[in-house]
């Protein structure tokens, strides 16, 4: 059984023009350094089409890099064993990405609870509430990164939790979309 949170339209797929990167477990282990390098690569790849305008190039590179880095860091931080797959595509007006990894049952349940909370209201209001709550309690795992992307960057998300495999890992697909300037006008 699969469970969907967020916008169902995003979970359909990234289309035909998808670039796929696989981050494998291995002797180097997946670390924050790999998150930054991978997100920088994806951001540069997308931003190159805007190189005629320094401002557009910098804005797109920053926005795509921030989004991608947040998703890959979450996949690394909360993953069960296994590779992480990053898929990215860009259309005339949107950057779309899908990050796939495995999580254990407890992580899936905690994340589903968090998603129920952060997708239930206005992202800007929820962001302020979470910042205030974190300052008062020092709690973590609050979804601040996702809320910031939703509130300040206009990112849209969908999450699909699959059925557990033979190792009791649950596949998690995180879909995201963020606007990019349309160059066809």
35-80 residue pLDDT tens:
889 999 999 999 999 999 999 999 999 999 999 999 999 998 888 8
Q: Which residue has the higher pLDDT, 157 or 2?
A: 157
Q: What are the structural domains, with CATH classification, of the chain?
A: 3-13+20-179 (3.30.565)
Q: How far apart are CA 10 and CA 132, in angstroms?
A: 30
pLDDT band at 26 (very low <50, low <70, confident <90, very high): low
Main-chain dihedrals φ then ψ at residue 56, nearest 5 degrees: -60, -45
DSSP3 helix / strand / coil % (the chain, rounded to 5): 45, 25, 30
| C-alpha distances in Å from residue 168, one per residue of 4, 24, 160, 174 | 19, 19, 16, 19
Query: What's the pLDDT at 30?
Result: 61
93-132 residue pLDDT tens:
999 999 999 999 999 999 999 999 888 889 999 999 888 8
Q: How far apart are CA 126 and CA 137, in angstroms?
A: 16
Query: What's the pLDDT at 164?
Result: 82
């Amino acid at each position: 059984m699969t469970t969907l949170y967020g916008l169902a339209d995003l979970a359909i797929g990234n289309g035909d023009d998808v670039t796929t990167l696989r981050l494998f477990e291995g002797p180097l282990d997946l670390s924050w350094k790999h998150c930054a390098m991978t997100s920088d690569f994806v951001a540069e790849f997308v931003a190159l089409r805007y190189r005629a305008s320094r401002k557009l190039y910098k804005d797109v590179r920053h926005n795509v890099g921030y989004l991608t880095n947040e998703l890959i860091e979450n996949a690394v931080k909360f993953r069960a064993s296994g590779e992480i797959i990053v898929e990215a595509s860009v259309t005339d007006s949107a950057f779309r990405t899908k990050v796939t990894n495995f999580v254990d049952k407890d992580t899936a349940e905690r994340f589903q609870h968090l998603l129920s909370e952060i997708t239930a209201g206005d992202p800007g209001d929820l962001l302020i509430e979470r910042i205030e709550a974190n300052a008062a309690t020092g709690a973590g795992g609050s979804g601040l990164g996702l809320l910031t992307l939703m509130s300040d960057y206009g990112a849209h998300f969908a999450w699909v939790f699959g059925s557990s495999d033979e190792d009791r890992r649950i596949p998690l697909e995180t879909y995201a979309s963020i606007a990019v300037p349309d160059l066809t006008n």
